[in-house]
Structure 1
Amino acid sequence: MKEDFLHHIWKFKKFNTLNLKTYNQEEIIISHVGQYLELAGPDFFNAQITIGNQKWAGNVEIHVKSSDWYVHNHERDAGYENVILHVVWEHDLEIFRNDNSEIPVLELKNYVAPVTLNNYQKLLAPKSWIFCEKQLKEIPQFTLTNWQERLFFERLERKSKPILELLEATNNDWESVLFCLLAKNFGLNTNGEVFLKIAQIIPFSIIRKECFEVENLEALLFGTAGLLDREKEDSYFKDLKFRYFYLLHKYQIEKSFIEPVQFFKHRPDNFPTIRLSQLANLYHKQQNLFSKISSLNSLEAIYEIFGVSVALYWQTHYQFDKESPKKKKSLTKSFIDLIILNTIIPIQFAYAKSQGREDSEDLITMLNEVEAEKNSIMEKFSSFGLKPKNAFETQSLLQLKNEYCSKNKCLDCAIGVELLKAH
């Protein structure tokens, strides 16, 4: 038995409220269970309860055992002096306020239906991956659809926080924020944080001024990444290095030293040299990029905007001084889909929110057209009968797994609540 289950039982009155009595046999009538705070202090605030012939307004504290009151040191906290009812699963000890008055106790185990308890024990049975893995097929589609939408926007809210932090750091320059986000996502998991630092080191005003020469953009990105630090015989390397130090002098920028980018364990098309060249080419071909995508909801238009490749040199190289067979190395559809998921949708959401606009339906509609992500989490959900059809559903399922299943927050999850209902 866990307290979160008792919180759920009390919050939603999942117990027999008829002939309800305290442990000392005083009648209880619940007018209002109170507000569930989930903060320090009593669990439910400002409940309204009649005990015997007296109506009370105050707080409700919930424990598995009455003695947990002292285990949690509530007797030392003045915030618990106005508790009007102590709700427990098992009453094993009388609890008194500082004025020696006894706090009334409701022992819930006498009022919870066996089927509710059985559903709870079934839900939290030993798991191999998530608790409800064997019951997912039982969830009504209506419940699942509504919950997926809520999960999707929870995930967007979480993704929008660092965007708004970047916005503040860049003096409300949305173009600069987009550049930082794109850089991070071009770096993928391995180089994402380093690419973000590169984008933050280079003032975006310089990117604006130098975007008409792609070699200058490459020089800034490669140089800041430390990829021009060594000496090489390659003429393109020498040209970029000359441009880099010229631009440092021109704009009075101090050379920064950051952790090295990683090549190890990457497929060649994901080498940082290739991704940085693609990013440079994107900003060479698409000026005022944020203005173009801030309200764009056409996938075809997005694929067209991001249909960029590498500089001519990188079509025959993956690293300096090492020639390879010619390949255009354009951004793939699957990579652009990642950009849509991790950059375009979150920044559109954050921008609309900052403008007081509502574009929820447009975002869902767009992601319904993006292919479902393929990863180990989606494979697991599919094996248990919950196969996502598009990126909207995969984003929702990622939020479900990471923020609910992995944290055992079954009783805060619509799926868990549905499974607790009597059948």
Structure 2
Amino acid sequence: MKEDFLHYLWKFKKFDISSLKTSNGEDVTIVNVGQYLQLAGPDFFNAQITIGNQKWAGNVEIHIKSSDWYVHHHERDEAYESVILHVVWEHDTEIFRKNNIEIPVLELKNYVSKETLEKYQSLLTPKSWIYCEKQLEAIDDFTVNNWKERLFFERLERKSINIQELLVQTNQDWEAVLFCLLAKNFGLNTNGELFLRIAQSIPFSVFRKESFELDNLEALLFGKAGLLSIEKEDRYFKNLLSRFNYLEHKYQLEQSIFEIVQFFKHRPDNFPTIRLSQLANVYHSQQNLFSKVIEANSIKNIYDFFKVSVSDYWQTHYQFDKESPKKMKSLSLAFIDLIIINTIIPIQFAYAKSQGKEISEDLIHLMQNVAPESNTIIQKFSSFGVKSKNAFDTQSLLQLKNEYCNKSKCLDCAIGMELLKKN
């Protein structure tokens, strides 16, 4: 038995409410169960209950056992002085307010049907991956689609936290935030955090000012990445090193010491040298990128912004001093899709929210035109009949698995709630 199940029972009155009595034998009538706030303090706020002949308005606290009141030290907390009813599964002790007045207790286990308990136990019986894996296909499309929309925006809200932190660090410079997010994306999982710190170490005003000279952008990125710290014979290396030393002195850039960028386990096209050159090319070819990104209302527009490759040198190299067959090394559509999912949509969402604009339908439409992601979570959902047509679906399912399934929050999940009704 878990408290979230008791919250569910109380919130939706999933028990026999016709003849309720307190542990002391007084009649109980529920006028209003109250608001389920899920915040600090009592579980349900501003409930209305009639106990005996007296009508009460106040808060309701819910526990597995009455004694949990003292286990959680509610007797010391002023917030619980307004509790008018203590709802428990098992009543094992009386509880009192500070003035020694006993708080009425309602023991639920005597009023919940066997069928309701069996439904709950069936839902939470361990399976091979998630609790409801064998029942997912039974859920109607209306419930699933509405829940996906909620999950999608929950995920965007979570991503917005990082954006808000970057806004504080950059003194509310949205262009700088976009630069940082793109840098992290270009670094992928292995070098993402390092690329982010590299971007944070270069004032965006400097990067924007030098954007007309591609070699200068590469010099700044390669220099800050520590890729110019070991002397090479290559002429292009010497050119970048000379430019970096000049720019570092010109703008009085702070010297940054980061860990070494990782080449290990990367395919050559994902080498940090290639990704940094591509990032430099994005800003060299697209002036006022932030404005373009915010105003973009079609996937084609966004693809056009990122139709870039590497500079001439990197077309014939993956590392300094090691020539290779010529290859343009343009950004793939799959890579641009990752940028759209992890940077473009989140920053559009956060910026619109800061401006008080409603663009929810636009964001959903954009994501529905992006190819679905492919990973073990999405593949597993597919094996249980939940197919993904686009990135809107996959982002919603990732939120579902990570924030609900993994945390056993079945009773906060629309699918779990629907299964409790259906089983």
Give TM-score scaled by structure 2 length. Answer: 0.97
Offset at 1:44? Answer: 1.7
| 1:146-191: CA deviation from partner (whole Å, max 9, x where unpaired) | 0000000111111112212222332332221111111110001111
Moved more, 113-122 or 269-278: 113-122
Say if 2:378 is the partner of 1:378.
yes
Residue aligning to 1:332: 332
* Counterpart residue number, 2:310: 310
Asked if the contact 1:115/1:422 (under 8 Å) is kept, the reply is no
User: How many residue pairs are counted as aligned between the two chains?
Assistant: 423
Give the letter aligned to residue 334 of structure 1: A
How far apart are the structure 1 equivalents of 2:206 and 2:197? 16
Check conservation: 1:116, 1:422, Cα contact below 8 A: no
Indicate conservation of the 8 Å contact 1:23/1:107, yes or no.
Answer: yes
Letter in 2 for 1:415: I
Taking only aligned residues, the RMSD between alpha carbons, in angstroms, comes to 1.4
Distance 1:355 1:79 in 2: 36
Q: Residues 288-307 of structure 1 correspond to what in structure 2 (within 5 A)?
A: 288-307=288-307
Shift of 1:71: 2.5
How far residue 422 of structure 1 moved from its aligned partner, in angstroms, is 4.8
Matched residue, 1:396: 396
Alignment of 1:220 onto 2:224: no
Q: What is the 5 A alignment of 1:61-210?
A: 61-210=61-210
Q: Which amino acid aligns with 1:91?
A: H
Residue 132 of structure 1: CA displacement?
1.1
* Aligned match of 2:54: 54
TM-score, length-scaled by structure 1: 0.97
Instruction: Note the alpha carbon deviations across 1:67-88, whole angstroms, 9 max, x for none.
Output: 2223223333343333221111
Q: What SS does structure 2 have at the residue aligned with 1:28?
A: strand
CA deviation profile, 1:163-220 (whole Å, cap 9, x unmatched): 1222233233222111111111000111111111111111111111111111110000
Which deviates more, 8-17 or 148-157? Answer: 8-17
Secondary structure at the aligned position of 2:212 is classed as: coil
- Partners of 1:62 and 1:133 in 2: CA distance: 30
Sort the Cα spacing of 1:78 and 1:289 in 2 relative to 1 into closer, same or farther, 3 A. closer
Cα distance in 1, alignment partners of residues 224 and 422 from structure 2: 61
Q: Are 1:3 and 1:63, in contact at CA under 8 Å, matched by a contact in 2?
A: yes
Is 2:383 the counterpart of 1:362?
no
Task: Work out the CA distance in 2 between the residues paired with 1:368 and 1:115.
Answer: 40
CA distance in 2, matches of 1:173, 1:96: 54
Structure 2: distance between partners of 1:225 and 1:381: 39
Query: Structure 2, unaligned stretches of length 5 or more?
Result: none
Residue 115 of structure 1, CA deviation: 2.0
Map of 1:37 onto structure 2: 37
**Deviation at residue 250 of structure 1 after TM alignment:** 1.5
- Rounded Cα–Cα distance in structure 1 between residues aligned with 2:50 and 2:233: 87
- Distance in 1 (alpha carbons) for counterparts of 2:240 and 2:309: 18
Deviates most, 270-279 or 92-101: 92-101
Indicate the larger mover: 62-71 or 44-53. Answer: 62-71
Contact 1:36 1:44 (C-alpha < 8 Å) held by counterparts: yes
What SS does structure 2 have at the residue aligned with 1:101?
coil
The residue type equivalent to 2:33 in the other structure is V
Aligned to 2:254, the other structure's residue is in SS state coil
Match of 2:282 in 1: 282
* Residue identity in the other structure for 2:70: Y
Of stretches 13-22 and 139-148 in structure 1, the one that deviates more from structure 2 is: 13-22
Q: Matches of 1:395 and 1:84 in 2, distance apart?
A: 42
Residues 233-272 of structure 1 aligned to structure 2 (within 5 Å): 233-272=233-272
Counterpart Cα distance in 2 of 1:422 and 1:105: 31
What's the secondary structure of 1:318's corresponding residue?
strand
Unaligned runs of 5+ in 1: none
CA distance in 1, matches of 2:188, 2:211: 23
Q: Distance in 1 between matches of 2:81 and 2:56?
A: 14
Q: Distance in 2 between matches of 1:216 and 1:182?
A: 18
